């Protein structure tokens, strides 16, 4: 809505500026300059959301009475199977008063069936009296609630000791992979990475065991975050203070209670080219507790 409102104000300003050179003419935002658009290009909804309402807005100085047709298009989600239109005519009617109308769609839940995240699109059909803007289509992604790792994924409070054995705490999130249901991503495996989140993506990949009791992070993997240059990426390693640092082996977390994961491994995010010990990128005896 804000984007469309800015376009309306911009159009009004343009006509106001134009009127300065033609003082005897009153600027008008003609109907042929009006357009219709989705307010967002993408939406993400849970499969059990039920009815969703997608706003469609007419950008014009004065409200316009018209009708706008739309169509649903299959993607990985199928129309009629994963989503149903509550409006059999697939037409929005604008009464000349309200600028925004809503496409109401029913998301069909398939409980117990894991399909992965699936998506479909909605496209506006050119109305007779209005133009279509670039936002003439939007994609809706239906997130699957039945992911095999659903009980593990989510936000955790992490407690640990730092390099000097001081108690530290922060939050991190475990997120799923788009296609592989046996792996997940940990966004901030140390408190230092959270502190420098603006440097890029700090995610490291964890492999979940078949019995879902352990999560293993392979040492040696690099994240997308970097320091100073893109060559100074951070490698995940295990370490012993003053003794040995290695980039092979694993860091393992074990479920010790429902929603609680612990590791006795010492974790260090090692800046590959600078070889500098950033103590706030070190953590010992991490405990993850799901929020």
* 12 three-class SS: helix
Using alpha carbons, list the distances in angstroms from residue 191 to 93, 121, 221, 247, 283.
Answer: 53, 39, 18, 20, 8
Distance CA 248, CA 214 (A): 18
Give how many domains the chain has, as a whole number: 2
Q: Which residues contact 141 (CB under 8 A, 6 or more apart)?
A: 42, 43, 44, 45, 117, 118, 119
Phi, psi (rounded to 5 degrees) for 199: -75, -10
Which H or E element spans position 170?
strand 167-176
**162/273 Cα distance (integer angstroms):** 23
Q: What count of other Cβ atoms lies within 10 Å of the Cβ of residue 72?
A: 20
In a domain, 48, yes or no: yes
Q: What is the pLDDT of residue 281?
A: 92
DSSP-based three-state secondary structure for 94: strand
Q: What is the CATH number of the domain that holds 122?
A: 2.60.40.2030
> 191 and 86 in one domain?
no
Contacts of 265 (CB under 8 A, 6+ apart): 238, 250, 251, 252
Write the CATH number for 184. Answer: 2.40.128
Question: Any idea of the CA torsion for 267, 288, 209, 45, to the nearest 10 degrees?
Answer: -120
> Per this entry, what is the length of the chain?
291
28 with 138, same domain? yes
Q: Which domain holds residue 232?
A: 154-290
Cα angle 133, 137, 143 (rounded to 5 degrees) comes to 145
3-state SS assignment for residue 195: helix
Q: Is residue 148 part of a domain?
A: no
Residue 284 lies in a domain: yes
The contacts of residue 235 (CB under 8 Å, 6+ apart) are 219, 220, 221, 222, 247, 269, 270, 271, 272
Output the furthest CA–CA distance in the chain (Å, rounded). 85
Residue 57 falls inside a structural domain: yes
In a domain, 254, yes or no: yes
pLDDT in the model for residue 275: 64
Sheet holding 83-85, edge to edge: 83-85, 100-107, 51-59, 35-38, 131-132
List, in order, residues 6 or more apart from 157 with CB less than 8 Å away. Answer: 169, 170, 171, 288, 289, 291
Give pLDDT tens digits along the chain (291 positions): 444 444 444 444 433 443 444 444 444 445 567 889 999 999 999 999 999 999 999 888 877 888 999 999 999 999 999 999 999 999 999 988 888 999 999 999 988 888 889 999 999 997 767 888 888 999 999 998 889 999 999 999 999 999 999 999 999 999 999 889 999 999 999 999 998 999 999 999 999 999 999 999 999 999 988 876 766 789 999 887 665 566 778 999 999 999 999 999 999 998 877 767 788 899 999 999 999
Do 139 and 240 fall into the same domain? no
149 assigned to some structural domain: no
pLDDT at 243: 57
What's the pLDDT at 26? 42
């Amino acid at each position: 809505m804000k984007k469309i409102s800015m376009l309306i104000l911009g159009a009004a300003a343009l006509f106001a500026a134009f009127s300065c050179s033609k003082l005897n003419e009153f600027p008008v935002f003609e109907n042929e300059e009006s357009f219709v658009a989705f307010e967002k290009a993408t939406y993400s909804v849970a499969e059990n959301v039920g009815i969703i309402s997608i706003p469609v807005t007419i950008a014009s100085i004065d409200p316009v009475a018209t009708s706008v047709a739309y169509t649903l298009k299959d993607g990985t989600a199928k129309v009629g199977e994963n989503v149903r239109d509550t409006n059999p005519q697939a037409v929005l009617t604008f009464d000349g008063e309200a600028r925004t109308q809503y496409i109401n769609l029913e998301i069909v839940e398939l409980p117990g069936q894991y399909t992965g995240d699936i998506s479909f699109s909605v496209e506006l059909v050119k109305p007779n009296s209005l133009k279509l803007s670039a936002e003439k289509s939007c994609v809706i992604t239906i997130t699957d609630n039945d992911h095999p790792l659903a009980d593990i994924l989510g936000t955790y409070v992490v407690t640990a000791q730092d390099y000097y054995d001081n108690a530290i705490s922060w939050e991190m999130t475990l997120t799923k992979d788009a296609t592989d249901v046996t792996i997940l991503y940990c966004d901030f495996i140390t408190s230092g990475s959270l502190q420098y989140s603006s440097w890029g993506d700090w995610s490291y990949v964890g492999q979940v065991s078949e019995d879902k009791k352990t999560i293993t992070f392979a040492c040696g993997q690099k994240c997308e975050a970097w320091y100073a240059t893109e060559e100074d990426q951070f490698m995940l390693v295990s370490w012993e203070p003053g003794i040995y640092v290695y980039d092979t082996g694993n860091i393992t977390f074990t479920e010790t209670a429902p929603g609680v994961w612990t590791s006795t491994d010492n974790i260090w995010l090692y800046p590959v080219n600078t070889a500098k010990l950033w103590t706030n990128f070190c953590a010992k005896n991490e405990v993850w507790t799901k929020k």
